[in-house]
Amino acid sequence: MLERSNPWWSTSEWEKEDPDIQKYSRMDMKWAPDWIDEIPLEPFSLNFVVGPRQVGKTTGIKLLVRKLISSGFERKSILYLNCDLLASFRELRKVLEGADRFRFIFLDEVTGLEYWWRVVKGLVDLGYFKDSVLTVSGSSSLKLWRFAESFAGRRGKGRNVEVLPLNFGEFVGVTGIEPEKALQRYLQVGGFPRSLNEDPSFGEDLLLSLDRELSRIGRSARLAREILYEVLRKSPSAVSYQALAGPLGISHVTVREYLEVLQDTFVLGVAFHKSGEHVDFKKEKKIFLRDPFLARTLASISGITLREEALYEWVVQEHLLRKFGEVYYWRNKFEIDCIAGGLKVEVKAGKPHRRYPRGVKIVDVEDLPRFLLELSG
- Domain edge (last residue) among 119, 139, 162: 162
- Tell me, what CATH number does 194's domain have? 1.10.10.10
- Of the pLDDT bands very low, low, confident and very high (cuts 50, 70, 90), residue 351 is low
Torsion angle defined by CA atoms of residues 347, 176, 201 and 162, in that order, rounded to the nearest 10 degrees: -70
**How much of the chain exceeds pLDDT 70, in percent?**
98
What pLDDT does residue 352 have? 61
Among 68, 48, 53, 49, smallest CA distance to 6 is for 68
Query: Do residues 251 and 144 both lie within one domain?
Result: no
Confidence (pTM): 0.92
Among 149, 259, 278, smallest CA distance to 214 is for 259
Query: Do residues 231 and 283 both lie within one domain?
Result: yes
pLDDT in tens, 271-327: 999 998 999 999 999 999 999 999 999 999 999 999 999 999 999 999 999 999 999
pLDDT in tens, 248-279: 999 999 999 999 999 999 999 999 999 989 99
Question: Looking at the 3D structure of the chain, how many domains does it have?
Answer: 2
What is the rounded CA–CA span in Å between residue 189 and residue 135? 30
- Tell me, what CATH number does 13's domain have? 3.40.50.300
In our burial notation (b when 16+ CB lie closer than 10 A, e otherwise), range 299-335 reads beebebebeebbbbbbbbbbbbbbbeeebbbbeeeee
Kindly report the number of other CB atoms within 10 A of residue 275's CB atom. 13
Query: Do residues 141 and 203 both lie within one domain?
Result: no
Query: Do residues 275 and 253 both lie within one domain?
Result: yes
- Domain edge (last residue) among 140, 162, 184: 162
- Domain edge (last residue) among 162, 181, 198: 162
Query: Do residues 105 and 31 both lie within one domain?
Result: yes
What is the rounded CA–CA span in Å between residue 242 and residue 229? 15
Query: Do residues 257 and 224 both lie within one domain?
Result: yes
Query: Do residues 205 and 304 both lie within one domain?
Result: yes
For 225, 295, 305, 315, 368, the CA distances from 232, given in Å and listed in that order, are 10, 8, 9, 15, 22
End-to-end CA distance of the chain: 42
pLDDT in tens, 145-177: 777 777 888 899 999 999 999 999 999 999 999
What is the rounded CA–CA span in Å between residue 237 and residue 105? 46
Domain that holds residue 298: 168-376
What pLDDT does residue 60 have? 97
